[in-house]
Copies of this chain bind each other. A is one copy, B any other.
Amino acid sequence: MSLIVKKFGGTSVADAQRLNHVAKLIVGDYKKGHDIVVVVSAQGDHTDRLINQAAEINPDGASKREMDVLMSAGEQISASLLAMAIEAMGCPAVSLMGWQAGFKTDSNYTFARIKRLEPDRIKAELAKKNVVVIAGFQGINQYDDITTFGRGGSDTSAVAVAATLKANLCQIYTDVDGVYTADPRLVTNAKKIPVITYDEMLELASLGAQVLNSRSVEMAKKYNVELEVRSSFTDEPGTLVKENVKMEKMVIRGVAKDTDLSTIYITGLNDAPGIAFKIFNRLAQHGIVVDLIMHTAESHGKTDIMFSIKGSDCTEAIKAIESLRDSLNFEAVEHDDDVAKISVVGSGIASHPGVAAKMFEALYEYGISIKMIATGEIKLSVIVAAKDADRGVKAVHDAFIQ
């Protein structure tokens, strides 16, 4: 007998039919003698509909505290409905909201972090042989106010439960049946990855693979929770995410694309010491995370700096840079939103110089020009024009994955 945590996303619980299907999966494992904790997202597009209702009430943006009260109702509905579906199959079940399940968070409304999970209630319900259905994505802060964890937050709830209760496995059920070497909608010969390390998964997640939420993978790595990404629509085995994956040779795990970014070009800077510090410090003060950076070589005492950021930070970043105009005395600051980042991910990329050459060659053969390059321990990223992104993913995937 073991403890299994199962997380179901919005499409997996979208309607009565899907809820019954998911309940059947759960009851099947319960009858095998496992203890089961289920974490559930809001049904289908319910969260979006609630956000639209709020936008109609206050187009300038409602307070984040009230947004969290509103949005958390979505998981409350899906959790109770799923508990009902399980009960209807003759299996005891109980739904718990974030505040009942013991999720204590900070007060960063709409993007709260879990400070600790107090699992007494969950344990007590498991001891009573109940399937415990937890409303994902939500907790309470020190004032007993409802907080939510941001998009993909139910993954984080599930991993937190698995970590705290030392579950044998944390299964993340989604509408795809695993992690692929590239987006299968884009690259038809993309292959499912049977097993992948946390770090590789983290790179793929943060690079836009959109299967698993980055924070949940970080937490799984930290507490060594074995994850399985699988589909609630098929019986196929999914992708296992764990610490040690035996490898004989350097393996490219996958190719990811991210289009939610902008590049900023600051040109004609006086090449004085500390200019890079000034720029990136100011951006950090504005809460802007900088991804790739290129600093061109000095010429006639002038230099250029380019970097990429999240697309939604662009306006704020330009404002921050403009506020430095007097002290930096640059010529111009420009931005480009029509860009995309393509990355290959795999353990050991850093020690294989051939990877970069192969990637650039593949892009070159498709006539795609590279705007910026960045390398890391297990990834290699390039920025290209947005229009070239999908072809670029295909080109790189074909070059590396047979």
Contact = CB atoms under 8 A, between A and B. Distances in A.
A117 interface: no
A219 B53 CA distance: 35
Contacts of A54: 80-81, 84
Interface stretch (A71-79, A259-267, A329-337): A71-79
B99 A84 contact: no
B63 A87 contact: yes
A27 to B, nearest CB: 14
A247 interface: no
7 contacts: A54-B84, A58-B85, A62-B84, A63-B83, A69-B83, A70-B84, A73-B76
A146 B54 CA distance: 25
A57 interface: yes
A94 to B, nearest CB: 7
A19 interface: yes
A326 interface: no
Contacts of A356: none
B144 A100 contact: yes
A248 interface: no
Interface in A218-271: none
What's the number of copies of this chain in the assembled complex? 2
B69 A53 contact: no
Given A66-B84, A69-B76, A70-B80, A19 B95 contact: no
A20 B84 CA distance: 35
A79 B76 CA distance: 15
Q: Please give me the 8 A-B residue pairs with the lowest Cβ-Cβ distance, nearest first.
A: A69-B80, A62-B84, A70-B80, A58-B88, A16-B56, A73-B76, A73-B73, A66-B80
Given A69-B80, A73-B77, 20 more contacts: A16-B53, A16-B56, A19-B57, A53-B77, A54-B81, A57-B85, A57-B88, A58-B84, A62-B84, A66-B80, A66-B87, A66-B93, A66-B95, A69-B76, A69-B97, A70-B76, A72-B76, A73-B73, A76-B76, A99-B99
A124 to B, nearest CB: 10
Contacts of A95: 66, 69
A387 interface: no
Contacts of A20: 57
Interface of A: 16, 19-20, 50, 53-54, 56-58, 60, 62-63, 65-67, 69-70, 72-73, 76-77, 79-81, 83-85, 87-88, 93-95, 97, 99-100, 121, 144-146
A95 to B, nearest CB: 5
A72 B76 CA distance: 9
A121 to B, nearest CB: 7
Contact of A84 (B63, B73, B80, B144): B63
A70 B81 contact: yes
Contacts of A81: 53-54, 57, 70
A87 B69 contact: no
Contacts of A83: 63, 66, 69
Contacts of A56: 16
Contacts of A93: 66
Nearest to A124: B143
Most chain B beta carbons < 10 A, residue from A54, A65, A77, A146: A77
A187 B144 CA distance: 50
Given A16-B57, A53-B16, A79 B69 contact: yes
A51 B66 CA distance: 25
A53 B78 CA distance: 10
A145 B146 CA distance: 16
B88 A62 contact: yes
